[in-house]
Amino acid sequence: MGIEELSVRNSRVVSDRWADSVAVRSRAPERHITVHKRLILAFSTSILMLLVVTAIAVTLAVNFEKCGENVATPPTGSNRTRNRNDDPRGGDVQPWRRSRLPTALWPRHYDLQLSIYMNNFTFSGELNIELECVNATKFIVLHADRLRVDKVAVYSNAKKPGAMRIHRHFSYPQKQVYIIALHREMKPLRTYKIQLSFQAQIQNRLLGFFRTSYMLHGERRYAAVTQFSPTHARKAFPCFDEPVYKATFRVTLTHDAFYRSVSNMPVELSSLDRDGWLTNRFFRTPRMSTYYVSWAVCDFSYRETMTHDGVMSGFGDYALHISKSLLNFYQDYFRVTYPLPKLDLLAVPKLQYAAMENWGLSVFVEQKILLDPEIVSSSYKMDLTMVVVHEICHQWLGDLVTPVWWDEVWIKEGFAHYFEFVASDFLFPGWKMKQRFLTDVLHEVLLLDGIAASYPVSQELLRVADIHRVFDWISYKKNYLVRHQYGNTARDDLWNSFSQAVRREGRDINIKEVMDGWTLQMGYPVVTISRNQSLENSISFSQEHFLYDMDAKIHQFSDKSLQWQIPLNLAVGNISHISSVSLIWISNKTETQRVGRIGEETWLLGNINQTGYFRVNYDLHNWRLLIQQLMINPTIISVENRAGLLDDVFSLARAGYLPQNLPMQIICYLSKEDDFLPWHAASRALYQLDKLLDRTEDYSLFSNYVLQQVELKYHKLDWPRVKAGDSFKQATYHADELQREVIILACSFGNKHCHRQAMSLVSEWLSTDKNSNLSPTLCRIPPSLRDVVYCTGVSLMDEDVWEFMWKKFQSSSAISEKKDLLEALTCSDNTFLLHRLLNTSLNSELLPDQELIDVLIHVARNPHALFSRALEVVQANVKWQQIYQESFFQWLSKSSCV
Ligand SMILES: [Zn+2]
């Protein structure tokens, strides 16, 4: 191709703030990437857990059950974190000062009766706990947080039943516990009963037992819901609030009959008294952890009214429909029947997380469970599907099989995340979810894990604060990936060939050691593959810790150099042929190996189908051959690898391993790319680069260059065709997604045709709406492109369009439509309108808090907004700009694809 190469600068200094650009929303709106960013916990070090998916679930089930049932044995597993001054005779002086509950007592059953006052948002409770004593103790230590405990009594069920004398009872807020100190010791192997009454508020904070609200016919209505995971059951009733203390629960709720109530189990007994108070007693649950206990008190007539009006009707149908298939799928997969008599999926306006998998009563924010099938876009539908798949998976892995302590919660989250892809693939094979995994999970984690502030997968968790800190998704997804790189390869049996290769080489490899390299060290390696110039037909491999910021590496890691044992799949190929794959085991910093015959025109390709958790770099000659291959016949290389090459080349250039022009050269082949996945990988990388360059003088050099690569495909795919009144032609999912991706790229980088098209659709909607008040269902804007059309319209057209969208936002009842409209409102360049949106949002009842948060986020991302991004741009990217920007533009100014 003869394009002049830029030299690689010596010092690779790029700000690690690159990593912040993961969720970049460029000029066009980009779908929210995932919904589980903060749900997640950290990890165990067990190597077996990393390797065998299903077997482990079974083993854990057995272990956890043993743990719970054998009350003579205190909980094991994570007890290494316990206080060492544990006196076996229960004579510990102040056991409530420890970070974990003392192990002397074991709850068996909770009988919980609550009276709920929705008029002043308070509740009072009567609680009976049956427990067994394991070790003699005078102290009962229970979790309780912000509860006012009034009355306390303790009864012995021994030969002489009766009340035990209480020395004193008091709360110790530092550890969120309530202590009952007895005069005499409780004795091992005996059972006791505690009675407590307490009062508390129904909080407005999305934790514990909290309230949430919504507007109906201009009136604010309230519902009260629970969110106990991870450590908030203690805000609703005194309990042993650690996952290992499984017990049965019988919940009874009394409330104004205007409301209805639900809980984990169905109603066993219901009674209405003369004052209009309704009491629902629910069936006793199976043994379960406190954080999965749940109930809700809501004005269900709201839904019925809405259904009657025909407004809300059917919004939950889709979730119900897939839930039914999913229950069957999981029952078959786990060979365990769904253990409860019912499963409610409750939609609430606001929740701390996207959803919470309470046993038998999963709670979702509306956006993750309700959809209007008439106007929903495929990406919204996919997001929602994955959330439902995830939560229903937890009914088994989580609710039924529960980790002992929070450092093992990655197991349930890892599995649920794994099934997001497996079960969605089962529901919709056309979505090719296993491919989608590469761009949406692998590439994103490689980006996050390449910064210096990353941390190892395995870490011990001691305090409550730690538990919350590790609700972080790098660690969670990475851990999943580390397992996945071996676990998902059943098809080509990588695991098998890996063992064989090890044996063939006569190496004595300790598998635990290998895996520890991946779980105990932070980050991941880049493997550089290059031809050995001095030795014919041999290749040199080297590995180093991949970091975006070389400075960080020098400062932080000078004392120890990280090294991995890497199973590298390698193929060699030429214009028309690719060889079979061989596995090469790289355990040293550098090594040389002979690999068949390598001619001048033969290229090497590593990490076949992107199954490994690392990046691959090559010598420049090899990169040139790969690019040439993509230009001439891309499909010789698998679609997974094409996406992987794009992600690697952009990241390697950004970190200074490669010349800046290389990514620009590789995207020249995109006009020949017919698959969605590589386009998706490229656009993610281009939006990140765009964020760096979009306020620079020569920006148009960059945007024009990108447009040149996009336009051919854009014109070929065009916009979805439709005649008035017709429904849109249903292409396959990936064709649909590809068209959307290319249209968004075209509109974002300023293609005039794309802009005109979007604006004419908006104008048409405006004019037809004036005449006939058509719903967007009937207007001609394709569902999958509503967000980009609305946003383009608002940013390029006059104020009337903004007003129109604002009006539509207020009147629309479809959640996905509201979301698109709200995001579009923030696309305006007009500071006055943005001001108005913010003010109205802050001061009006029109927006629920969840939407208010969305407004703030989107306005903050808009470069014209009040929150200037200047600081971020300066701090985050100044290094890259100083070092590479000038030469980058120089190259662009004289280059184009041949
Ligand atoms: Zn989860």
**What was the pLDDT predicted at 885?**
81
**What was the pLDDT predicted at 676?**
93
User: What b/e readout covers 388-404, taking b as 16+ CB neighbours within 10 angstroms?
Assistant: bbbbbbbbbbbbbbbbb
**What was the pLDDT predicted at 323?**
86
Q: Verify cis geometry, omega within 30 degrees of 0, for the bond prior to 188.
A: no
**Quick check: is 243 in a domain?**
yes
**What was the pLDDT predicted at 516?**
62
Centre of ligand 1 from the C-alpha of residue 355, in Å: 8
Centre of ligand 1 from the C-alpha of residue 394, in Å: 7
**Quick check: is 335 in a domain?**
no
Chunked mean pLDDT (size 10), the chain, 898 residues: 33 27 27 23 21 30 31 35 41 81 95 97 97 95 96 84 90 95 93 96 92 79 91 96 92 94 94 94 94 88 33 64 87 80 84 86 84 76 90 84 64 76 88 81 73 51 40 42 35 40 53 60 88 85 85 54 85 86 86 84 91 91 96 94 96 91 95 94 93 84 94 92 52 80 95 95 85 56 88 92 89 79 86 78 57 59 44 50 80 78
Among residues 572, 649, 627, which one has the least CA distance to residue 605? 572
In the numeric block, which tokens belong to residue 595?
């690999």
Centre of ligand 1 from the C-alpha of residue 803, in Å: 39
Centre of ligand 1 from the C-alpha of residue 407, in Å: 14
Domain boundaries, position 205: 79-306
**What was the pLDDT predicted at 726?**
47
Contact 6, 887 (CB under 8 A): yes
Q: Say if residue 154 is in the same domain as residue 97.
A: yes
**Quick check: is 208 in a domain?**
yes
Q: Say if residue 197 is in the same domain as residue 271.
A: yes
Centre of ligand 1 from the C-alpha of residue 297, in Å: 24
Contact 796, 810 (CB under 8 A): no
Q: Say if residue 691 is in the same domain as residue 831.
A: no
- The answer to whether 413 is annotated as binding is yes
Which long-range contacts does 313-321 make (Cβ < 8 Å, 24+ apart)? Answer: 314/372, 314/373, 315/370, 315/371, 315/372, 315/814, 315/815, 316/345, 316/347, 316/369, 316/370, 317/373, 318/371, 318/373, 318/381, 318/384, 319/345, 319/364, 319/369, 319/370, 319/371, 319/384, 319/388, 320/345
Check which CATH number belongs to the domain holding 121 and give it. 2.60.40.1730
How many structural domains compose the chain? Answer: 3
| 89 secondary structure, DSSP code | T
Centre of ligand 1 from the C-alpha of residue 42, in Å: 12
Residue type at 480? Y
Contact 669, 681 (CB under 8 A): no
- The answer to whether 711 is annotated as binding is no
Centre of ligand 1 from the C-alpha of residue 390, in Å: 6
Centre of ligand 1 from the C-alpha of residue 426, in Å: 19
Q: Say if residue 121 is in the same domain as residue 203.
A: yes
**Boundary-marking domain end, from 290, 306, 322:** 306
Contact 540, 628 (CB under 8 A): no
Q: Say if residue 222 is in the same domain as residue 141.
A: yes
Q: How far is CA 69 from CA 206, 336, 401, in A?
A: 33, 19, 13
Centre of ligand 1 from the C-alpha of residue 411, in Å: 10
- The answer to whether 255 is annotated as binding is no
Q: Say if residue 841 is in the same domain as residue 708.
A: no
CA distance between the termini of the chain = 7
**Boundary-marking domain end, from 268, 290, 306:** 306
Q: Say if residue 662 is in the same domain as residue 781.
A: no
Residue 363's DSSP bridge partners are: 346, 356
Q: Say if residue 230 is in the same domain as residue 184.
A: yes
**Quick check: is 333 in a domain?**
no
The backbone region for 609, taken as left when phi is positive above 0, alpha when psi lies in -120 to 50, beta otherwise, is left
pTM recorded for the entire structure: 0.69
**Quick check: is 444 in a domain?**
no
Neighbours of 345 (CB within 10 A): 19
**What was the pLDDT predicted at 686?**
95
Centre of ligand 1 from the C-alpha of residue 138, in Å: 38
**Boundary-marking domain end, from 256, 283, 306:** 306
Q: How far is CA 225 from CA 208, 293, 364, 845, in A?
A: 8, 11, 11, 21
Q: Say if residue 156 is in the same domain as residue 293.
A: yes
**Quick check: is 837 in a domain?**
yes
Contact 205, 125 (CB under 8 A): no
Contact 164, 183 (CB under 8 A): yes
Q: Say if residue 196 is in the same domain as residue 142.
A: yes
Among residues 642, 645, 526, which one has the least CA distance to residue 590? 526
**Quick check: is 791 in a domain?**
yes
**Quick check: is 592 in a domain?**
no
- The C-alpha atoms of residue 392 and residue 613 are separated, in whole angstroms, by 28
Q: Say if residue 97 is in the same domain as residue 205.
A: yes
Q: Mapping DSSP to helix (H, G, I), strand (E, B) and coil, where does residue 609 land? A: helix
Among residues 410, 443, 316, 449, which one has the least CA distance to residue 49? 410
Among residues 232, 210, 246, which one has the least CA distance to residue 471? 232
Residue 223's DSSP bridge partners are: 212
Q: Say if residue 848 is in the same domain as residue 891.
A: no
Contact 417, 476 (CB under 8 A): yes
Residues labelled catalytic: 391
DSSP 387-449: HHHHHHHHTTBTTTB--SSGGGHHHHHHHHHHHHHHHHHHH-GGG-HHHHHIIIIIHHHHHHH
